[in-house]
């Protein structure tokens, strides 16, 4: 079994690769990207702010080019494709 630092690095790199894929796919489809808190997330930190902030597309939704970077190593929050970014239409309304 891998050491704890090696496992943390592997998980971090996997999360970053997934996030890059989500951002690029959402950008091509003109969709928002939604910040999702990890089910294991039990302490309040920057991630809570990202998941609840409204950047104009609804709570936790960002334009693909404006998604915040993961704030800490070992963060298990995820990104997923969100709502269409239609001109003049706000998905949360």
pTM: 0.82
Share of residues in the chain with pLDDT > 70 (%): 91
Q: For 29-38, what is each residue's pLDDT tens digit?
A: 999 999 999 8
Q: For 61-83, what is each residue's pLDDT tens digit?
A: 999 999 999 888 778 899 999 99
Question: Which of the pair, 40 or 65, is modelled with greater confidence?
Answer: 65
Q: Which of the 8 DSSP states describes residue 55? A: S
Residue boundaries of the structural domains of the chain: 4-84
Q: What's the token pair of residue 14?
A: 């996997």
Average pLDDT over residues 26-48: 90
Count of C-beta atoms within a 10 Å radius of residue 32: 24
């Amino acid at each position: 079994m891998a050491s704890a630092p090696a496992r943390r690095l592997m998980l971090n790199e996997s999360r970053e690769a997934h996030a890059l894929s989500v951002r690029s796919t959402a950008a091509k489809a003109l969709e928002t990207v939604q910040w999702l808190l990890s089910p294991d997330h039990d302490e309040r930190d920057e991630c809570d702010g990202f998941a609840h902030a409204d950047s104009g597309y609804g709570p936790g939704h960002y334009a693909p080019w404006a998604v915040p970077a993961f704030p800490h190593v070992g963060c298990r929050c995820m990104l997923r494709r969100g709502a269409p970014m239609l001109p003049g239409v706000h998905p949360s309304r």
